[in-house]
Amino acid sequence: MNPRKIVTLIEETHAEGGRPVETPARVAVVAAVIENPWAGQGFVEDLSAGIDAVASEVGALLAPRVIAALGEPVEAYGKAAIVGLDGEIEHGSAIIHTLKFGDHYRKAAEATTLLPAVEKRGPAGVVFDIPLKHKTDATIRSHHQSIEVRLADAPHPGEIVIALAAAAQGRPQQRLAPLSTEQ
């Protein structure tokens, strides 16, 4: 796995709903643009060789970078795989929906829940939203959020964008009652 590029995005929300946010809400995304290990091969029945070649390495690359970019303890997290037009959505899913990939992030973030994800196929510059949820309890409503991402020149047809997102808090100004109040 040789990334063509690595992109880091930081978003800080200082006001929401017409009011200042007491502590700016910070979200970080780190994305690696990699070659699709199955591109140009037609339908590949067994994806395990590509998974073994890429999943752990890209997870190990991205997990420490997104945590460092956030600069604060992770409270919510998510992931994405955006496949270029010469690939299948299954190619992205094969990389990010494995413990070989996700355990790097779970361990680094001290998390226990499954990572919410988006998978999509599209041309360079396609917009995608990465969903985030609380890292230890996916029912905590305040942490259900998403961040919009776009890389102007990726993915090329034979590439995959693999991304991780991290938030230091829930949504700014969240006011929903806990799920337990409806049960």
Domain-embedded: residue 11: yes
Boundaries of domain holding 163: 5-174
Residue labelled with tokens 């992931």: 79
pLDDT at residue 32 in the model? 98
Domain count, the chain: 1
Domain annotation covers residue 180: no
124 in any annotated domain: yes
DSSP 140-152: -GGG-EEEEEE-T
Beta bridge partners of 134: 76
Nearest Cα neighbor of 158 from 96, 92, 81, 84 is 84
**Residue 108, pLDDT score:** 97
Task: Assess if residue 41 is contained within a domain.
Answer: yes
Find the CATH number of the domain harbouring 164. 3.30.1330.110
Is 181 part of a structural domain of the chain? Answer: no
Helices vs. strands in the chain: H and E counts, helices first? 3, 7
**Is residue 127 included in any domain, yes or no?**
yes
As averages over each run of 10 residues, the pLDDT of the chain (183 residues) reads 95 96 96 96 95 98 98 98 97 98 98 96 98 95 96 98 98 83 73
Residue 175: the pLDDT is: 86
84 in any annotated domain: yes
Is 144 within a domain? yes
